A and B are shown apart, each in its own frame.
Chain A
Amino acid sequence: MKHTYSDLQLDALRELANIGSGTAATALSSLLGCPVDVSVPNALAVPLADAVEAAGPPETFTTAVVLPIFGDFEAIVLLLFPPDDAARLCELLGVDPATEVGLSALGEIGNILGSAYVGALGTMTGRALEPRPPQTVTDMLGAIVASVLATGAESTDVALVLDSDLIVEGTECSLSFMLVPSRDGVGEVLEGLGLGE
């Protein structure tokens, strides 16, 4: 089984992440009523251990919204909110971050942004994708990312991670998106873009 991707394929995946997160940024912007910037996405195809490290210091206490995608291909969309940023986002929404309401607000943001992202992904690749209800967890970053990567690690030692940051203008608030397609999912995505093997 092929374990590497060509530059052209990685470029295409990066562009996909760019459009997906751009769509999500628009959704977040209309939710908060202020402008949201998107960073240039990274497309990393690296060994599992390196993918965990690339996400940030593993001990960082992080709130994550995990959005599984089923349909023509399987993937997991992960939204990561560093703790201070999660709190600021809750403030912008007028909810207390330390409560159930705060957590469910973050879950709802995850749901809206994730659905926007997945919708753009489906349109671009011409595949039918269906997001399942999101789950919100607060735990060590390393444990969250490793557990998500493990779900797709059966047949490959290379993790493909597409990540990008959304930055809410005028605040110190940012969150990051990670798209982790399953092994077959990557092939489907590339095929949908006309870049299959």
Chain B
Amino acid sequence: MTALGTEAMVRMGELQVSRDAGDVLVTIGLGSCIGLALIDRTRPLAGLAHIVLPKSGHDGEAPAAKFADLAVPALLGQLTGLGAIAARLDAVLVGGAQMFSFGSSPTLDIGRRNEEATRAALAEAGIAVRAAATGGSKGRTIRVHVDSGRVLVNEPGSAEVEVYGGAR
């Protein structure tokens, strides 16, 4: 554990959880994808999922966090494995931008559909969304500090801002 913390990269379709107070969970460059952070209000424990698409089809071997409907239970499952309970988790959503607009094709408004599907899956799991930095047309980077539970976001060319201050 260092003063600066260890940055753990969460890539497209992946998820990670940590109870190491020195860890920072990071996804660089969320466009239409959603970075879903789940933070335990009672202890240093947090998880981050990098969701790509709203709904799973018949693909049995997809990466754990690829689809919103599977990513939420998968991330929750890993956190409860470390002692979390859903009622004590706060959710923070980042991303879901529409970077390109190729006419009105619904398949291309992936960002908005990702956010809707993620919120629906969280509601089903009984987890409240406490903060969000979503929509628009710009990419974002998310950093989840496991020790404080703070979630920081930056867009290209702007300073990092705190979207969630942590409840601990």
A155 at the interface (CB under 8 A from B): yes
> A146–B63 contact, CB under 8 A?
no
Task: Label chain A's interface by main secondary structure.
Answer: mixed
Report which of B28, B62, B63, B66 forms a contact with A140, defined as CB distance below 8 A.
B28
Binds A, one of B41-49, B68-76, B99-107, B119-127: B99-107
Q: How far is the CA of A139 from the CA of B111 in the complex (A)?
A: 16
Q: How far is the CA of A81 from the CA of B108 in the complex (A)?
A: 23
List, in ascending order, chain B residues with CB within 8 A of A135's CB.
100-102
Task: Label chain B's interface by main secondary structure.
Answer: loop
Number of B interface residues in the complex (CB < 8 A): 35
> B29–A140 contact, CB under 8 A?
yes
List, in ascending order, chain B residues with CB within 8 A of A156's CB.
59
* Given A68-B102, A150-B110, A153-B52: A140 touches B141 (CB 8 Å cut-off): yes
List, in ascending order, chain B residues with CB within 8 A of A141's CB.
29
> B31–A47 contact, CB under 8 A?
no
Q: Which residue of A lies closest to B110 (CB)?
A: A150
Q: Which of B1-44 contact A (CB under 8 A)?
A: 11-14, 28-33
* Given A139-B139, A140-B139, A143-B140: A157 touches B13 (CB 8 Å cut-off): yes
> B29–A146 contact, CB under 8 A?
yes
Give the interface of A toward B (CB within 8 A).
Answer: 47-49, 52-53, 58-59, 61, 66, 68, 132, 135, 137-151, 153-157
